Amino acid sequence: MEAFFNQLSPIEIQIITQRSFERYFKAAEKILNYFKCEKCGKCCREIPVTIDRFEVAILSKHMGLRPTVFINRFCFLKNGKVNIKPPCPFLTKNNLCGVYKMRPKVCRFYPFSLLVPALWMSCPLGSKIWKYIESNFNLEEFKGFLKNSPKDPLDESIQKLFDLLVKKQDVNFESFWKRNVHEIFNPKGESGEMVPLVAFSVPLLEYVASKLNEKHEGECKGKNEEKTIDEAL
């Protein structure tokens, strides 16, 4: 692994990381379009939300407060970052978001993590997405998807880095699954309990997003055909 990093400049490492996360966020956003939030409000009540300076400006303006007043009243600082204190002040009585259209990035992508390509399994929606991935994954389909996908100039470097991190194994179902899905744990809960995360390779999430899109298009086509038949009758 050291040899691989020694071949790259800091800028090249930054570009590879940035491209990997860009693809991750696109895939996560597409996947979330096909699943509905359970509206349990658990994440809004229990999880601090890290926000950047632009989000501070937007949210404080929405509340008619100066940014410093907003931070002092609703946030706390940790490791130099601003975090909204739970429960979120924008959570309504119906477990809806009072600032949905301007909600922070953390909320937009939840239950996907912004730090690593992973799902928070403490969230009912995260569990639902994970069950879909687990029950619908097909190795041959995935291999075909990788073969036919548009090539990214950074694919080789991203894959090489990924293989170094997880130790490349033979491509059978079990080892291939282990290479692309990893269960990790993060001490995030208020009471110190271990909150599970399931991490995925970016290509696997892109495959899932593509599979969901194909299913959606098939359902829409079926509805249109039914409508055409009804009109004919």
SS3 content of the chain, % helix, strand, coil (to 5): 55, 10, 30
Asked if the structure places residue 81 within a domain, the reply is no
- Please enumerate in sequence order all residues whose Cβ is within 8 A of that of 232, keeping only pairs 6 or more positions apart, or say none: none
Domain that holds residue 203: 2-40+109-232
Q: Which comes out higher in pLDDT, residue 93 or 226?
A: 93
Asked if the structure places residue 71 within a domain, the reply is no
CA distance 216 to 17: 31
pLDDT, one tens digit per residue, over 171-216 is 455 566 665 676 655 544 444 555 677 888 888 999 999 999 998 8
Q: pTM for this structure? A: 0.80
Asked if the structure places residue 217 within a domain, the reply is yes
Q: What is the CA radius of gyration of the chain?
A: 21
Q: Please state the domain count of the chain.
A: 1
Amino acid residing at 42: K
The pLDDT of residue 229 is above 70: no
Asked if the structure places residue 86 within a domain, the reply is no
Asked if the structure places residue 102 within a domain, the reply is no
Asked if the structure places residue 50 within a domain, the reply is no
pLDDT, one tens digit per residue, over 35-77 is 999 999 999 999 999 999 999 999 999 999 999 999 999 999 9
Asked if the structure places residue 90 within a domain, the reply is no
